[in-house]
């Protein structure tokens, strides 16, 4: 069931919300789109990229977190979020 953009399942594991919606899938798409745009058109530096990523992705990653944060006790969900964070770090690292 989807309510206010958060996917609930019968066991309240929030697997669908973390893995298949904004948290992982849409965040990864957004990271790649921002990376292509910033690299190709703007030639932005590390600090500017970091600001853009934080402004665009932090709200997506933390939307509804007070509801689903307990789902992070499972290693699978935590691994998914770490993958997204690692991708952000790779894209914004200093070159």
Asked if pLDDT for residue 3 goes beyond 80, the answer is no
Domain that holds residue 24: 2-92
Domain count, the chain: 1
Query: At 86, is the pLDDT very low, low, confident or very high (cuts 50, 70, 90)?
Result: very high
- pLDDT class of 7 with cuts at 50, 70, 90: confident
Checking if the pLDDT of 42 tops 70, the result is no
28 sits in which H/E element: helix 27-37
Mean pLDDT over 9-29 rounds to 79
| Cα→Cα distances 36→14, 57, 65, 70, Å | 30, 15, 28, 34
**Residue of 53, 63, 55 lying closest to 85 (CA atoms):** 53
In this predicted structure, the answer to whether residue 23 has a pLDDT above a threshold of 70 is yes
């Amino acid at each position: 069931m989807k309510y206010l953009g958060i996917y609930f399942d019968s066991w309240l594991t929030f697997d669908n919300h973390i893995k298949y919606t904004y948290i992982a899938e849409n965040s990864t798409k957004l990271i790649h789109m921002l990376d292509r745009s910033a690299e190709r058109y703007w030639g932005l530096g590390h600090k500017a990229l970091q600001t853009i990523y934080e402004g665009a992705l932090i709200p997506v990653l933390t939307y509804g977190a007070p509801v689903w944060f307990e789902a992070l006790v499972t290693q699978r969900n935590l691994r998914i979020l770490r993958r997204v964070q690692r991708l952000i770090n790779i894209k914004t690292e200093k070159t």
